[in-house]
Homo-oligomer: A and B are copies of this chain.
Amino acid sequence: MESWKTLSRKTILNHSKYLTVEEHVVELPDGRIIPDWPWVVTPDFINVVAVTVEGQFLFFRQTKYSLEGVSVAAVGGFLEPDEDPFEGAQRELLEETGYAAPDWTFLGRYSVDGNRGAGNAHFYLAQNAQRVAEIDADDLEEQELLLLSRAEVEAALDAGEFKLLPWTAVVALALRQI
């Protein structure tokens, strides 16, 4: 079972550091050529499910542009260029919540869109988190920190209240580990 080959690529939209679109000439294993396969370049990002020393889960109530209404949300953000995903996860946890954690579990790296790319999600579980600083988030959206019990997290997950794909994924994966 062979992968497709990228024969050439050109940029067809250079919007910003958050979005570039390329067109690839792709060769399939049977020799067919696709001359105009679109490919979306967006930054990789991390999400973290953090649990405090008291066993409470750190989430947010917040809005996102793609979502209707308010959602329960996981810690997360884009990686800086060349930033190590684990360092990015530690940075985002600290910036967004003021918490730091000694115990980290990597929950995997997942491509967002199998056809178009659109970056990779890097997922982490952080345990025994403690408050060490003030919140220092630079996000455009309002965020309200929530401390939830495990039962509340499970209820929100099963009710679809983590409305964004990476949030529901990281929460479902993290709950398998603890």
Q: Residues of A at under 8 Å CB distance from B?
A: 1-4, 12-13, 15-16, 18-19, 21, 23, 26, 28-29, 34, 36-38, 40, 42, 61-70, 107-118, 121, 140, 142, 144, 157-158, 160, 162-166, 168-169, 172-173, 176
Contacts and interface: CB of A to CB of B under 8 A. Distances in A.
Nearest to A118: B118
B66 A114 contact: yes
A114 B67 contact: yes
A66 B19 contact: no
Contacts of A40: 19, 40, 118
Instruction: Kindly report how many copies of this chain are found in the complex they form together.
Output: 2
A111 B163 contact: yes
25 contacts: A1-B62, A1-B70, A2-B63, A4-B63, A13-B21, A15-B38, A16-B36, A18-B38, A19-B116, A26-B65, A37-B65, A40-B40, A42-B113, A65-B114, A65-B115, A65-B117, A66-B117, A67-B111, A67-B114, A109-B160, A110-B164, A111-B163, A121-B165, A157-B176, A158-B176
A1 B67 contact: no
Nearest to A67: B111
B110 A163 contact: yes
A107 B172 CA distance: 12
A74 to B, nearest CB: 11
A116 B112 CA distance: 13
